[in-house]
Amino acid sequence: MSLPNTRRKLPNIVITGTPGCGKTSHAEQLVQQCPELTHINVSEFAKKNNCIEGWDSERDTSIVAEDKLLDLLEPLADKGGLVLDWHCCDLYPERWVDLVVVLRCDNTVLYDRLKKRGYKESKVQENVECEIMQVLLSDAKENYDSQIVIELQSEQVDTLDDNVDRITQWFTKWKQDHSQGVSNKLPS
C-alpha cells in the first residue's frame, strides 16, 4: 500500500497499560484538555468496525483481526491527532506514533480494580502478573524509540491529573517543535 505524500500537523499518542491501569480515563481527560485530539478506544473501535475474528475463552476476551483493524486506523493515523487507547501498543507502525504512554499501577490497586470489574480470577491473575513483569513497558521499549516511551504511575485521581497535565505539556511542545508537521513516510 502506498502512502500519501502528506504531512500531519498533530501527533499520534498511544496510551497503553495493563487492563485497569486507567487508559481510558487518561485518554478522555486528555482530549478534554486538548480538543484537537481524538480519542479512539481501540477495543470499542474494533467491535464497531467488525474487526473481531473470534473469542478466546481461556482469556475471556475477543480476538481482534489486527490487519483489518490497522487498515481502518491507517487513514486516521495519517491525519494525526489520535489518542489510541488499548492494552497493546506493539502492532502500530512506528511512523504513526509520536508518544507512547505506558501506565503502571500498584499490584494491589490493580487487583482490586479488576475484581470490581467482575473479571474471572484467572484473568485477574494473568493481568496482575503482566503488570509485575512489566510486559507492556517492555513491548513499548522494544518496538519504539526509547525517547518516545514514557512510564507513568496511575493509582489515584491526583496522579491522573498530573499525568494528563504532563502529556498536555508534551503535546503543546510537540506542536511548537513541529510547526510544519511531520511526514507520514518512513525515513529513508
Q: Summarize the annotated binding site for ATP as residue ranges.
A: 20, 22-25, 117
Would you say the C-alpha torsion 174, 160, 154, 57 has a positive or negative sign? negative
SS3 34: coil
Binding residues: 20, 22-25, 117
CB 27 within 8 A of CB 85: yes
- Residue 13 has what DSSP assignment? E
Cβ within 8 Å of residue 134, ≥6 positions away = 104
Rounded distance between C-alpha atoms, residue 17 and residue 119, angstroms: 17
CB 15 within 8 A of CB 168: no
